[in-house]
């Protein structure tokens, strides 16, 4: 397939460049003649063409500022190298600097190859790639050259051998084309083998640099570069190009791709070439092909390749988080503490994979701990905040306790709870999230932060008592403010004085009129004040108190009245049960006395606190008038007509009737209320019937028989009506 012409990397040198006027050093001046501008290369190197006086052949003079610490030693090895593999180095010289102001210029003179580089040669071909035979020839020669550099140049002394470090088509010179004869050139980035080098990237050509080149320079990186070069020469374009326009991708993009994924290889050259390319670009240094395996491949063998990605060694590896690069788990923890949302994204998203891989390299034990986080929290879908907190703990156990960017020492927690109680919405949300996620317990695993775990246990224990009771709040009442309950219980868990304040506050609430007249709330208070006092119950009572006024409002509703009353009973029962459950239940009574049952039943009846409307006030006046004035008038009349005892009895009957009526009106529907109403009606109608008995019996048998008849009939009718009312 005809390929579009690829755009080349910046290493492509312009054919001409301005001569910058740097004078040749004194020794070199005597060795060459007619120097003239030729081309410019990298940032600091410049090329001139000249004639070597000794042979009369053209040479290239290159001058540059030194960036390679091994330069002098590299020159020494290069000069003695076999000309079959490398271009010939004829002369080197360092400029003498007077005054020590600037860096000296370095000069090197090499033989000139008019055919140029392999890059130039391929550019001139029709499809910008080598024919298969040429590619095999180039591969064989370069393999031999690299093997020579890496193993043979100093005759057995490995520390004297060279790593080129910048293999690419533009650094491979073409000495002849029939057959194709190539040699290595430009050792400006070369290093001696086994030399400890500080990690630096100067001199690297990124599109050809091996993944380990950022921290390590070894012979294997030359084989990677050879692999990339061969891919480019065989398939006709560099592997790291934009698929839409075949332009070379930017260096940072290539670095990232090299670090994270296999080299993209076009399928067109065929599986045999793919085998070679994959072998030379194996990510793992130890698995990467070198001279021996390439030789076997050239003989026609198909070899296994390792296609794993990611370092296996113990190098200090970078980890990217929230736009920053960190190298140690502790540094990552520091960044995570201040970038909570990014931390959440890390544990939710695919970046967790990167973290696991990174942790394995920097600390295998850390990898084990993070695997536990995966297994116990992530896989079980724990709250994201808890996962982040636990990850922070595993990354840095000595670090400070942080949650959602806030420091969480006990005193910080106290301040947070105070802020929340004062109405700070953000602080309140934080308290709620802290409870829902359970992160406080995880923070207690930090060194020296056991107190946080203890606070968590106290808080959670208190809420275990209080929260189930809040679930019994019926739907017709506005939902209880659970946030306030969380805040108060947290404060109580943090501070004993606050717990005592709550206790005192509950005692004070118990004296409030509304509290005394609301049965379920009274039950709650009694529960809170009975036995061992718990801050949770005190907090619950405090939080529930505002509901009393809402209860009053709700009572005006027609609908839901029955539900309300039943719910009140339920809540009271729940509150009692929660507190009394730990105690052993008393033995059941053998005989259930009516007098032991009724007071309790009465105790459960609710006198609903109604608002004092004008109508209610009039009702009260009427009841008081009927209960006092009418009995007095009736008693006076009866007493004057008969006897004082009769008058007193009649007055008591009137007063009792008025009292029963008032009580019946204010009670909720029940048997007791029915009985009271029935009794009152019995009193009213019974009075008429009893009066009839009196006027019938009295004139015949006399007053001594008439009055007992009257009271007997009246009492009987009242009792019968009471029983009927209770039954209905």
Q: Could you tell me which residues are beta bridge partners of residue 192? A: 162
- Distance, CA of 599 to chain centre: 57
Residue 37 backbone dihedrals phi, psi, to 5 degrees? -60, 145
Using CB under 8 A as the binding rule, whether residue 307 contacts another protein is answered as: yes
Residues in 239-278 at the binding interface with another protein, rule: CB under 8 A = 241-246, 249-250, 252-253, 256-257, 260-262, 264-268
Q: Name the residue nearer to another protein (CB basis): 373 or 683.
A: 373
Q: Name the residue nearer to another protein (CB basis): 154 or 351.
A: 351
Q: Name the residue nearer to another protein (CB basis): 447 or 617.
A: 447
Using CB under 8 A as the binding rule, whether residue 372 contacts another protein is answered as: yes
The CA distance from 54 to 111, in Å, is: 12
Q: Which part of the chain contacts another protein (CB under 8 A), choosing from 150-158, 193-201, 302-310, 635-643?
A: 302-310
Selected binder of another protein within 39, 49, 291, 384 (CB under 8 A)? 384
Residue 380 CB, nearest approach to another protein (Å): 5
Cis amide leading into 179 (omega within 30): yes
Residue 310 CB, nearest approach to another protein (Å): 7
The HSE-up count of residue 567 (CA atoms within 13 Å, CB side) is 17
For residues 156-170, b (16+ Cβ closer than 10 Å) or e, as one string? eeeebbbbbbbbbbb
Site string for another protein, 347-366 (x = CB under 8 A): xxxxxxx--xx---------
Q: Name the residue nearer to another protein (CB basis): 559 or 593.
A: 559
Q: Name the residue nearer to another protein (CB basis): 344 or 703.
A: 344
For residues 237-259, b (16+ Cβ closer than 10 Å) or e, as one string? bbbbbeeeeeebbebeebbebbb
Q: Name the residue nearer to another protein (CB basis): 380 or 600.
A: 380
Q: Are 451 and 436 in contact (CB under 8 A)?
A: no
Q: Name the residue nearer to another protein (CB basis): 30 or 242.
A: 242
Give the 3-state secondary structure of residue 41.
coil
Q: Which helix (H) or strand (E) holds 60?
A: strand 58-65
Q: Could you tell me which residues are beta bridge partners of residue 326? A: 319
Residues in 102-141 at the binding interface with another protein, rule: CB under 8 A = none
Q: Could you tell me which residues are beta bridge partners of residue 62? A: 47, 108
Using CB under 8 A as the binding rule, whether residue 582 contacts another protein is answered as: yes
Selected binder of another protein within 31, 386, 417, 515 (CB under 8 A)? 386
302 to 105, 135, 299: CA distances (angstroms): 48, 17, 9
Give me the residue label for tokens 């939710």.
348
Using CB under 8 A as the binding rule, whether residue 385 contacts another protein is answered as: yes
Q: Which part of the chain contacts another protein (CB under 8 A), choosing from 46-54, 466-474, 603-611, 702-710?
A: 466-474
Q: Which part of the chain contacts another protein (CB under 8 A), choosing from 47-55, 215-223, 410-418, 563-571?
A: 563-571
Using CB under 8 A as the binding rule, whether residue 195 contacts another protein is answered as: no
Residues in 412-431 at the binding interface with another protein, rule: CB under 8 A = none
Q: By CB under 8 A, how many residues form the interface with another protein? A: 89
Give me the residue label for tokens 């040429």.
134
Using CB under 8 A as the binding rule, whether residue 345 contacts another protein is answered as: yes
Q: Name the residue nearer to another protein (CB basis): 451 or 549.
A: 451
Q: Are 399 and 337 in contact (CB under 8 A)?
A: yes
**DSSP letter (8 states) at residue 144:** H
Structure token pair of residue 477: 């009442």
Structure token pair of residue 69: 């610490």
Q: Which helix (H) or strand (E) holds 57?
A: none
Q: Name the residue nearer to another protein (CB basis): 269 or 651.
A: 269
The CA distance from 556 to 390, in Å, is: 51
Question: What percent of the residues of the chain are helix, what percent strand, and what percent coil, each to the nearest 5?
Answer: 55, 10, 35
Q: Are 722 and 675 in contact (CB under 8 A)?
A: yes
Q: Name the residue nearer to another protein (CB basis): 360 or 673.
A: 360
Q: Which helix (H) or strand (E) holds 163?
A: strand 162-163
Structure token pair of residue 649: 């009895």
The CA distance from 197 to 204, in Å, is: 14
Residue 571 CB, nearest approach to another protein (Å): 8
Residues in 475-494 at the binding interface with another protein, rule: CB under 8 A = 475
The CA distance from 526 to 689, in Å, is: 48
Q: Which part of the chain contacts another protein (CB under 8 A), choosing from 205-213, 287-295, 346-354, 615-623?
A: 346-354
Selected binder of another protein within 27, 450, 684, 705 (CB under 8 A)? 450
Selected binder of another protein within 414, 474, 552, 698 (CB under 8 A)? 474
Using CB under 8 A as the binding rule, whether residue 458 contacts another protein is answered as: yes
Residue 412 CB, nearest approach to another protein (Å): 20
Q: Which part of the chain contacts another protein (CB under 8 A), choosing from 137-145, 385-393, 603-611, 660-668?
A: 385-393
Q: Name the residue nearer to another protein (CB basis): 180 or 544.
A: 544
Residue 707 CB, nearest approach to another protein (Å): 52
Using CB under 8 A as the binding rule, whether residue 400 contacts another protein is answered as: no
Q: Which part of the chain contacts another protein (CB under 8 A), choosing from 97-105, 367-375, 635-643, 712-720?
A: 367-375
Give me the residue label for tokens 């509150």.
575
Q: Which part of the chain contacts another protein (CB under 8 A), choosing from 78-86, 376-384, 624-632, 636-644?
A: 376-384
Site string for another protein, 515-534 (x = CB under 8 A): -------------------x
Helices (H) and strands (E) in the chain, counts: 29, 13
The CA distance from 509 to 505, in Å, is: 6
């Amino acid at each position: 397939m005809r390929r579009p012409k690829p755009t080349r990397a910046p290493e492509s040198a312009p054919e001409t460049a301005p001569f910058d006027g740097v004078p040749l050093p004194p020794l070199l001046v005597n060795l060459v003649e007619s120097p003239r501008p030729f081309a410019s290369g990298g940032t600091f190197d410049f090329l001139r063409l000249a004639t070597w006086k000794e042979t009369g052949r053209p040479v290239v003079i290159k001058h540059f500022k030194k960036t390679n610490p091994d330069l002098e030693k590299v020159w020494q090895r290069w000069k003695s190298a076999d000309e079959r593999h490398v271009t010939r180095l004829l002369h080197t010289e360092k400029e003498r600097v007077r005054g020590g102001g600037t860096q000296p210029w370095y000069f090197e003179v090499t033989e000139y190859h008019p055919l140029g580089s392999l890059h130039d040669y391929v550019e001139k071909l029709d499809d910008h790639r080598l024919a298969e035979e040429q590619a095999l020839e180039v591969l064989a020669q370069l393999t031999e050259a690299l093997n020579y550099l890496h193993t043979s140049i100093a005759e057995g002394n490995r520390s004297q051998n060279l790593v080129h470090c910048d293999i690419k088509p533009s650094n491979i010179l073409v000495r002849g084309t029939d057959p194709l004869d190539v040699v290595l050139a430009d050792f400006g980035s070369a290093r001696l083998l086994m030399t400890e080098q500080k990690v630096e990237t100067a001199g690297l050509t990124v599109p050809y640099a091996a993944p380990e080149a950022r921290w390590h320079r070894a012979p294997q990186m030359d084989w990677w570069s050879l692999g990339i070069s061969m891919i480019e020469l065989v398939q006709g374009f560099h592997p790291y190009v934009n698929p839409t326009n075949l332009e070379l991708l930017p260096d940072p993009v290539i670095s990232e791709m090299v670090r994270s994924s296999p080299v993209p290889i076009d399928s067109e050259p065929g599986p045999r070439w793919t085998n070679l390319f994959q072998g030379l670009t194996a990510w793992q240094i130890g698995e990467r092909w070198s001279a021996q395996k390439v030789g076997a491949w050239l003989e026609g063998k198909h070899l296994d390749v390792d296609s794993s990605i990611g370092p296996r060694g113990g190098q200090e590896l970078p980890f990217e988080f929230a736009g920053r690069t960190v190298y140690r788990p502790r540094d990552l923890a520091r960044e995570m503490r201040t970038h909570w949302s990014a931390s959440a994204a890390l544990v939710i998203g695919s970046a967790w994979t990167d973290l696991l891989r990174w942790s394995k390299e920097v600390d295998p034990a850390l990898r084990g701990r993070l695997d536990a986080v995966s297994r116990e929290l992530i896989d079980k879908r724990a709250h994201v905040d808890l996962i982040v907190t636990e990850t922070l703990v595993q990354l840095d156990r000595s670090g400070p306790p942080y949650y959602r960017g806030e420091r969480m020492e006990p005193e910080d927690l106290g301040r947070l709870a105070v802020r929340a109680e004062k109405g700070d919405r953000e602080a309140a949300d934080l308290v709620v999230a802290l409870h829902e996620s359970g992160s406080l317990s995880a923070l207690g695993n930090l060194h020296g932060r056991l107190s946080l775990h203890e606070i968590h246990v106290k808080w959670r224990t208190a809420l275990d008592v209080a929260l189930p009771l809040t679930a019994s709040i019926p739907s017709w009442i506005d939902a209880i403010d659970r946030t306030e309950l969380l805040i108060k219980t947290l404060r109580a868990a943090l501070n004993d004085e606050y717990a005592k304040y709550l206790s005192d506050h509950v005692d004070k609430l118990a004296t409030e009129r509304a509290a005394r007249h609301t049965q379920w709330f009274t039950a709650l208070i009694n529960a809170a004040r009975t036995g061992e006092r718990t801050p949770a119950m005190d907090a619950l009572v405090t939080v529930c108190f505002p509901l009393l006024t809402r209860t009053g409002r709700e009572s005006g509703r027609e609908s839901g009245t029955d539900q309300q009353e039943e719910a009140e009973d339920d809540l009271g029962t729940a509150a009692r049960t929660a507190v009394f459950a730990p105690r052993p239940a008393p033995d059941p009574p053998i005989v259930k006395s009516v007098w032991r049952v009724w007071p309790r039943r009465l105790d459960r009846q609710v006198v609903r606190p109604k608002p004092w409307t004008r109508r209610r006030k009039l009702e009260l006046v009427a009841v008081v008038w009927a209960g006092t004035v009418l009995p007095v008038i009736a008693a006076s009349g009866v007493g004057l007509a008969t006897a004082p005892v009769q008058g007193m009895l009649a007055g008591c009957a009137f007063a009792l009737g008025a009292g029963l009526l008032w009580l019946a009106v204010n009670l909720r529907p029940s048997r007791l209320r029915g009985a009271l109403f029935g009794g009152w009606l019995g009193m009213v109608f019974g009075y008429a019937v009893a009066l009839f008995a009196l006027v019938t019996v009295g004139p015949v048998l006399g007053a001594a028989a008439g009055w007992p008849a009257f009271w007997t009939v009246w009492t009987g009718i009242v009792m019968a009506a009471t029983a009927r009312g209770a039954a209905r």
